[in-house]
Each structure stands twice: as C-alpha cells, then as structure tokens.
Structure 1
Amino acid sequence: MDTATERDYRTIPGTYVFDGEHCRNGYALNMFCKSLDLESNREAFRSDSWGYLQKFKMSEDQCRAVLDRDWLAMLRLGGNIYYTFKLAIFDGLTMQHVGAAMSANAMSVDEFRTMMTSGGRSIEGNRTVEEWTHG
C-alpha cells in the first residue's frame, strides 16, 4: 500500500509529504544537510562544495538542487524541510526566505511575509491537482 498512486495526499498541489518513500529517496541528501551541524563540515563544504557532496551517495539531481539552492527540488527529491533548512541556515537565510523561494510565483520575502500574516494562501485552486487541470 506504500505506492505513490495510492496516497490521497499526492493529489494536493505543491505538497511533498515526508513519507517512507521520500525518506528512502532523500536519505543521502538529508544526511548531507545534517552534516552541516559541524563547523568542520561547513568549512569543508564552503571550501569545495562539489567535492564535499561526493562524500554522500546523492543523485546528480540532488547534488544540482543543493548547488543551485533549489529548495523545492530538494523537497521533491526526498529532502526533509527540517534537514534542508540546515543548508538555508548555512547561507544565512530564514524560513521566510525559503518559503518565498518555494512559492509558485517566486515572491519576495516581504510579499511572502505579508501573505502569511494575512492568512496564507487561498484554498481556491489549491485543493487538488484536478483543479489545476480542469480549472
């Protein structure tokens, strides 16, 4: 019963639930992010990002997402937001920076902050993937 097509939450647009499948797919990516807890690892990553990433068994797409700081791609590729946020902290970013970057229309941090303090995203068009295809 643990297949992608059998999960109701897979039909919610922009939702990447960290389930067993995502956990398995993102293990190496998440262990890389966790490694940034140590200053020596942060320094090694800062000095030679590509070389440091080679210590982990990440896919090429995962490595590219890290190097490009493609936050949404990291989630799609099995990243857990709590681990990937360690990379954002490494870059001196806040959760609001990452949230803004992951927005469908890539909004500014101020726009994201205003949207969230005004009640968040509208539910219209965001309940199921079918709303996007038939809307």
Structure 2
Amino acid sequence: MSGPKDIHSYLAEFEDIPGTRVFTAARARQGYHLNQFAMSLMKAENRARWKADEAAYLEGWQLTPEQKAAVLARDYNALLDLGGNIYFLAKVFSTDGQSFLQAVSTMSGLSTEEYSAMMNAGGRSPDGVRSRKEGK
C-alpha cells in the first residue's frame, strides 16, 4: 500500500497534461505582475495609455522580458505558460476588440469558425495524447 503523495509530486502531474495549463499557486506567483497589468486595462484611462504606446505602458509593470515580448506579440499560449490567467488576459484581447472566441481560437491553431464548430460539436476529442511523459 503506498502512502500519500507529497504536494509537489501531485502538482507536477498537472504539467503532464498536453495542451493544458492548470493555474496553480506557482503560476499565480509567477504571473502576479502580468495579471495585474491585464487587470489595469479595466480602466478606460489605462486602455487609452496602452493603445497610445504599448511598450511604454508595459515599462510601468514588473514583467519579465519574456512576459513583455509575449504580451506585445499577443502570444496567449506563452502568456499562460508565463503565469497568465486567461480571465485576466481577456482584458488584453477585449481591449484589442477581440471576443473570447476569437482569442481562444488563435490559441488552438484553428480559425474562429473551425474552433466554434468544434466546440458546438462537443469540444476536443478525448482520444489522442493524454500524457506528455507517457506519450499516450
């Protein structure tokens, strides 16, 4: 009979899910300033400053160089890997005039129409790679 798993082993299992980023406490700490930046876009005056000069606006936030580059490139998958929370990042794509559907479809590699059709048909198939380490 095996004993209980330690918390680190348990949390490491979340990293084994292909195509999924679980927003853990570690990711929350990593992305704290990134998510605070995104939430700042809730205020109209901040959105105006952001739209006027994105790079200059980012200088006011303690983001890593990788986070800044990913924000400017609108690389939402990288932003999730760097601690971004999709609900906070929604402020960025909303400021760009994109819907949740439009932004998330870019993360999947599908067109908006293809992504919408997939989701209306029930979502991604459960068949395929379910574990990175096991390749199955």
TM over 0.5: yes
| TM-score (normalised: structure 2) | 0.89
In structure 1, list runs of 5 or more residues that go unmatched.
Answer: none
Deviation at 1:130, TM superposition (A): 3.6
Cα distance between partner residues in 1 of 2:49 and 2:70: 18
Q: Secondary structure at the match of 1:55?
A: coil
Q: 1:36 matched to which residue of 2?
A: 41
Structure with the greater alpha carbon radius of gyration: 2
RMSD of Structure 2 on Structure 1 (CA): 1.6
- How many pairs were matched up? 131
| Alpha carbons of structure 1 residues 93 and 21: separation in structure 2 relative to 1, 3 Å | same
Counterpart of 1:116 in structure 2 is: 119
TM-score norm. by structure 1 comes to: 0.90
> CA deviation digits over 1:37-66, x for unaligned, max 9?
001100111111111101110001100111
* Match of residue 129 from structure 1: 132
Cα distance in 2 for partners of 1:2, 1:29 equals: 26
> How far has the Cα of 1:129 moved from its partner?
1.2
**3-state SS, counterpart of residue 84 of structure 2:** coil
- CA drift of 1:84 comes to 0.3
| Mapped partners of 2:31, 2:19: distance in 1 | 17
Gaps of 5+ in 2: 1-5
Q: Cα gap change, 1:4/1:60 in structure 2, threshold over 3 Å: closer, same or farther?
A: farther
Which residue does 2:3 correspond to in 1? Answer: none
Which residue matches 2:71?
66
